[in-house]
């Protein structure tokens, strides 16, 4: 059975061959000591293989190994068998509960695309842990193309699952109209189309999700109406953007959308969508400690509405522990686009915060002015994290085109910051451009700054060392400047 499992996954043959070589060494004195190990230890060895297919291929080693892979508490199928074959491998009425199921496919669009519907009911019966289903499609596929796709996946009720993560490449998803997700603590939905008749709010609300604590909904369609009433929700992350930096970067909710969220225990809310007071009602948020929102840094004069919506949300709070902001530069803000201007001047006040996280999607443009503008309003700041995301689809610009609007305004380069309480600064993926170094120098006013952490990926070591040397040249002696490699 294992040899016909067809689960796919590269590299498994090599791993199985290595195990076979190991067995030969154990057989050298005529005794198979490897197969004599207890089941739990052998299962732990198989769990270190990448996919279930690789574990199944170890069945060729000896009779002792033929059924060991069926004891695995985790099953992983990556670009492997069709949905019916996965169902057969899961469908063992005597098998124990699984603590994790991970499936990666490349489903197409159309009425025959949802083979996941074949194995999900069986998975719902056996799973007592986490489900990850990732349908990989080209990221270039936009919302407009996705909206016309047919087909869909029927999600059964997972009564014992603790986490569910679905990344569907804008395939359709039909939610169950009955049943309870009794143990579900985390639900993450990415790039999908929700279809009726059951709505998302009905599923994630009490009593159908009595233990749900984290809800993430990102780039998903079919959510013009949402009503959530939960006694357990602690964290909500709602991202409507199709793609950061897209020239068509617009939130998905309209003024006619109807959103009601009642979650009195909510501790963090990241809301990357419109916040119109007539259509978005967030209820009592007295326990909220972290708030996330976004701003468009440059744009045309008549494109200020998204920023005004974000301001309405921020103005609900006078004091927060942590504020997380996305500063977004659209791709077409070069100096040759008429009517583009700096949009951040409308932001004159932020909540009092002790921690500020700035996520900057600047498309290679200068971001010093916008970052400085946000930081100087947080005079009680103790911790600052600045994440300068690199766009892997865009060749980084060392110098913007002449006259690019991103170098405006320029007054910030000579202004001082008042950050007497700032103790720690973390900067991720700094490129070392002139405007970034100018921003770093502004922190010399932070007399209590104890630690400055520069974090980089392993592929940018030379650039990291260069920025580190520059920072050491003007940092205060009492500030500990460290260079660290990003993990994961």
Least confident of 21-30, 60-69, 300-309: 21-30
Q: Cβ(194)–Cβ(223) under 8 Å? A: yes
Task: Specify the pLDDT at position 5.
Answer: 41
Taking 60 as the threshold, does the pLDDT of residue 251 lie above it?
no
Q: In what helix (H) or strand (E) does residue 118 lie, and over which residues does it extend?
A: helix 116-126
For residue 326, which of 280, 386, 276, 275 has the smallest C-alpha distance?
A: 386
Q: In what helix (H) or strand (E) does residue 53 lie, and over which residues does it extend?
A: helix 52-57
Task: Specify the pLDDT at position 457.
Answer: 79
Task: Specify the pLDDT at position 350.
Answer: 95
Higher pLDDT, 406 or 207: 207
Least confident of 11-25, 193-207, 212-226: 11-25
Higher pLDDT, 31 or 384: 384
- Reported as a pLDDT band with limits 50, 70 and 90, residue 332 is low
Task: Specify the pLDDT at position 15.
Answer: 47
Cβ burial 351-381 (10 Å sphere, 16+ → b, else e): bbbbbbbbbbbbbbbbbbbbbbbbbbbbeeb
Give the tens place of pLDDT for each residue, 379-411. 999 999 999 875 544 444 445 666 788 878 889
Helix pair 461-474, 434-441: axis angle to 10 deg = 40
Q: What is the mean pLDDT of residues 93-99?
A: 82
Q: How does the average pLDDT of the chain come out, rounded? A: 81
- Reported as a pLDDT band with limits 50, 70 and 90, residue 83 is confident
Taking 70 as the threshold, does the pLDDT of residue 127 lie above it?
yes
Helix (H, G, I), strand (E, B) or coil at 122: helix
For residue 316, which of 338, 291, 342 has the smallest C-alpha distance?
A: 291
Higher pLDDT, 425 or 11: 425
- Reported as a pLDDT band with limits 50, 70 and 90, residue 258 is confident
Taking 50 as the threshold, does the pLDDT of residue 299 lie above it?
yes
């Amino acid at each position: 059975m294992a040899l016909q499992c067809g689960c796919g996954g590269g590299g498994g043959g090599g791993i199985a061959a290595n195990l076979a070589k190991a067995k030969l060494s154990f057989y050298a004195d005529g005794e198979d000591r490897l197969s004599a190990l207890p089941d739990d230890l052998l299962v732990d060895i198989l769990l270190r293989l990448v996919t279930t297919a690789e574990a199944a291929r170890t069945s060729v080693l000896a009779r002792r190994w033929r059924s060991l892979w069926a004891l695995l508490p985790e099953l992983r199928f990556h670009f492997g068998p069709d949905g019916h074959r996965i169902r057969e491998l899961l469908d063992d009425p005597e098998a124990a509960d699984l603590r994790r199921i991970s499936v990666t496919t490349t489903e197409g669009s159309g009425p025959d695309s949802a083979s996941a519907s074949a194995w999900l009911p069986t998975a719902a019966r056996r799973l007592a842990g986490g489900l990850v289903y990732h349908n990989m499609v080209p990221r270039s596929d936009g919302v407009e193309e996705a909206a016309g796709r047919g087909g869909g996946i029927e999600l059964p009720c997972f009564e014992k699952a603790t986490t569910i993560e679905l990344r569907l490449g804008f395939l359709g998803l039909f939610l169950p109209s009955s049943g309870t997700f009794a143990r579900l603590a985390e639900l993450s939905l990415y790039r999908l189309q929700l279809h009726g008749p059951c709505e998302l709010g009905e599923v994630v609300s009490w009593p159908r999700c009595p233990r749900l604590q984290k809800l993430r909904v990102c780039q998903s369609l079919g959510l013009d109406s949402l009503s959530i009433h939960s006694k357990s929700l602690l964290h909500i992350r709602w991202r409507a953007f199709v793609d950061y930096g897209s020239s068509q970067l617009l939130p998905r909710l309209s003024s006619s959308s109807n959103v009601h969220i009642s979650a009195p225990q909510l501790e963090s809310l990241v809301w990357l969508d419109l916040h119109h007071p007539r259509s978005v009602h967030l209820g009592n948020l007295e326990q909220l400690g972290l708030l996330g929102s976004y701003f468009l840094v440059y744009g045309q004069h008549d494109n200020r509405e998204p920023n005004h919506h974000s301001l309405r949300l921020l103005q609900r709070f006078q004091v927060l522990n942590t504020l997380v902001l996305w500063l977004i530069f659209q791709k077409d803000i070069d100096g040759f686009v008429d009517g583009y201007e700096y949009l951040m001047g409308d932001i004159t006040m932020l909540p009092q915060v002790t921690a500020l996280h700035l996520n900057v999607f600047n498309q290679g443009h200068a971001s010093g002015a916008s970052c400085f503008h946000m930081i100087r309003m947080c005079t009680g700041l103790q911790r600052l994290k600045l994440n300068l995301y690199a766009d892997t689809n865009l060749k980084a610009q060392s110098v913007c085109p002449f006259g690019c609007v991103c170098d405006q305004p320029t007054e910030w380069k000579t202004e001082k910051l008042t950050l007497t309480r700032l103790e720690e600064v973390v900067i991720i993926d700094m490129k070392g451009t002139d405007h970034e170094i100018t921003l770093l120098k502004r922190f010399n006013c932070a007399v209590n700054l104890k630690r400055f952490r520069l974090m980089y990926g392993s592929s940018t070591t030379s650039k990291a060392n260069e920025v580190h040397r520059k920072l050491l040249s003007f940092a205060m002696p009492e500030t500990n400047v460290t260079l660290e490699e990003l993990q994961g």
